[in-house]
Structure 1
Amino acid sequence: MRLSNFSNYTLEEKDSFTVLGIGIELKSDYTDYAGISKEKADFWSAVKQDGRLDMLKAIALNDYTFAVNEAVNHKMMHYAGVMTDATLPEASRVIQFPKGEYLVVKGEAETSEELNNMLTGIAFGQVLPEVNDFAYVGGPNASVEMGLRNGSFFGEMWIPVVRK
């Protein structure tokens, strides 16, 4: 696994966008990294095998696959999603991402699961705890798988932030 350099992050202005997602409630404690990772891996395996992810991709506006984390009614939710204006009966949530500044962490890995875990770990475990000029104040965040390059999955973590 190739890890991105820690300094490999930027702040980018993004227009608001919508992700249509199929999701689950994560039952592990938010500090139980291993439990959360297993729940997410099992969920992704299921949506790939049963065809729900392919249904989402069929109505997507681009080739990006979103792994979205969002607190909804005090529950920790995780979604597989795509950027689209369409809807599906199987979808469980239309997720609105606000216009504004986003922390963007770029990376690549051998599998989509490794990519998601690596981007999340760098963003929440390294960048956010060490920066002083901006902060994550909640709202949906997403690991965005953007494609394959030289046999590796590449993508970005998008986290809405505010300047301190």
Structure 2
Amino acid sequence: MTNYTLEEKESFTVLGIGTELKSSYTDYAGIAKEKADFWTEVTQDGGLDKLKAVATNDYIFVVNEAVNNKMMHYAGVMTEASLPEASRVIQFPKGEYLVVKGEAETDEALSNMVTGIAFGQVLPEAKDFAYVGGPNTSVIMGQRNGLVFGEMWIPVVRK
């Protein structure tokens, strides 16, 4: 099985600018294109820079959450501040999290890689814990040796 850890995390809040993903949840190519288009837009229109300006750390959160039966996708930061551009304050619960670490050439490649490993390999093979919903996030933590590094955080419960 792929390298992963289970870590206890305190509750935390992410302020996000988001979009509704309209593709079917099984249309991976459609979802990937919608996410890429969203990140291009939020980067070019200055939304991401505004979020970074109020962040309590340097992490960028790539959040997926089901809200009112809609698939939502957010660019976010950890902060107690608010912004008029922000569309949601996302509450992550205190508890155990599946953590998958990774490195890739770009933020998008890292997010796609750790998401794929977590949902495509670790969770389907997990015998003693499960994801039961709630927001999940890949966390872009920084750069080293020319690569972007970060983690996927998914709240889980013991079976």
Which category describes the TM-score, using the shorter chain as reference length? over 0.9
Amino acid at match of 2:62: A
Specify the alignment match of 1:156 in structure 2.
Answer: 151
**Which among 23, 35, 38 is matched to residue 43 of structure 1?**
38
**Which among 76, 80, 83 is matched to residue 88 of structure 1?**
83
Structure 1 Cα separation of the partners of residues 113 and 35 of structure 2 = 14
1:135 correspondence with 2:130: yes
Bigger mean CA deviation after superposition, 6-15 or 99-108: 6-15
* Structure-to-structure mapping, 1:46-65, within 5 angstroms: 46-65=41-60
**CA deviation string 1:25-66 (max 9, x = no partner):** 000000001000000000001001110000000000000000
1:30 correspondence with 2:25: yes
**Which among 97, 100, 103 is matched to residue 95 of structure 2?**
100
Runs of 4+ displaced beyond 2 Å = none
Structure 2 Cα separation of the partners of residues 8 and 55 of structure 1 = 34
| Shift in Å, 1:8 | 1.6
Specify the alignment match of 2:8 in structure 1.
Answer: 13
Alignment identity in percent?
Answer: 82
SS of the equivalent of 1:71 reads: strand
| Shift in Å, 1:155 | 0.1
Gapped regions of structure 2 (runs ≥ 5): none
SS of the equivalent of 1:29 reads: coil
**CA deviation string 1:5-25 (max 9, x = no partner):** x53200000000000000000
Specify the alignment match of 2:117 in structure 1.
Answer: 122
* 8 Å CA contact retained: 2:60, 2:139: yes
Amino acid at match of 1:99: K
SS of the equivalent of 2:7 reads: strand
Structure 2 Cα separation of the partners of residues 7 and 89 of structure 1 = 40
SS of the equivalent of 1:40 reads: helix
SS of the equivalent of 2:74 reads: strand
